[in-house]
Amino acid sequence: MNEVAELSKKLRLPGEAPHLAEAFTHRSYAVEHDLAYDNQRLEFLGDAVLEIIQTEYLFRRCPEATEGQLTKLRSALACEGALAEWARRLELGTLLKVGRGEEDNGGAARRSTLADLFEAVLGAVYLDLGMAAAREFVLPLLESTLGDPDDLLLELNPKGRLQELTQRIFGGTPQYLVLGVSGPQHQPVFKVEARAGGWVTVGDGTSRKHAESRAAAQLYRYLSEFSSK
């Protein structure tokens, strides 16, 4: 079995994708072996294809989300960490060809390298097999990662989500109060209170902002449950 057929089979693609050989060629390997190609151009293409697939998916999956919320969700699902995790799940790093120097410095285990590799592979799938195959490649990963869109939005911006909710329920914004700071000076722990409409929650964290976010997330969950009854 030739290299392309083997790669296509491992990725369970609906056909052979000749550009996969290029997608799995890191620039360091191309330089060491004097190759005329590497996966950077496919990475560029894959990034654009991914944005289209994610945008369409979120548009259909979250019919009540605003443009701003959709943008935040797409950014979270397209971040380097998310793409690297998808690459790990598919074991793409084990197939990447890297140069000796790159391998000594972490090689395909690096998050940035894995994220770029995922986009390059997606670019190859799109180029060789079309958009339908690209969607089939990405959508299961998106679905498993997104979960409840509201939970992800809350994780991304708990204070903003809480403010939207309190304005709707109480016609006002939440208030935050630092209750205290404990621990050593080099590693403080902040305790912050979040209050709205007579409801109060407390959160702690290694910074005031972190503590406020935790208190806001907890208060949002309480008020969401209250307002749904």
* Alpha-carbon span 161 to 171, nearest angstrom: 14
Given a contact cutoff of 8 angstroms between Cβ atoms, the answer to whether 16 and 128 are in contact is: yes
Q: Are 74 and 153 in contact (CB under 8 A)?
A: no
Q: What are phi and psi of 227, to 5 degrees?
A: -75, -20
- Catalytic one of 22, 102, 119, 212: 119
pLDDT recorded at residue 229: 57
- CATH number of the domain located at residue range(s) 157-228 in this protein: 3.30.160.20
CB burial of 156-173 (b: ≥16 within 10 Å; e: otherwise) equals ebbbbbbbbbbeeeeeee
Do the domains 3-147 and 157-228 sit in the same CATH topology, yes or no?
no
Q: Compute the residue count for the chain.
A: 229
Domain boundaries defined on the chain: 3-147, 157-228
Query: Cα–Cα distance between 224 and 162 in angstroms, integer?
Result: 9
Instruction: Quote the CA–CA distance of 191 and 183 in Å, as a whole number.
Output: 11
* DSSP line for 81-140: HHHHHHHHHTTGGGG-B--HHHHHTTGGGSHHHHHHHHHHHHHHHHHHH-HHHHHHHHHH
pLDDT at 228: 65
Give yes or no: 119 in active site.
yes
Identify the CA nearest to 4 among candidates 131, 128, 139: 128
Low-confidence ranges of the chain (pLDDT < 70): 1, 156, 228-229
User: Which of 153, 127, 138, 134 lies closest to 66, judged by CA?
Assistant: 153
pTM of the model: 0.72
Of 47, 102, 116, 128, which residue is the catalytic one? 47
How far is residue 94's CA from residue 109's CA, in Å, rounded to a whole number?
A: 9
Token digits of residue 157: 């911006």
150 is catalytic: no
Q: What is the CATH number of domain 3-147?
A: 1.10.1520.10
Sheet holding 175-182, edge to edge: 175-182, 189-196, 199-205
Nearest to 161 by CA among 122, 123, 194, 125: 194
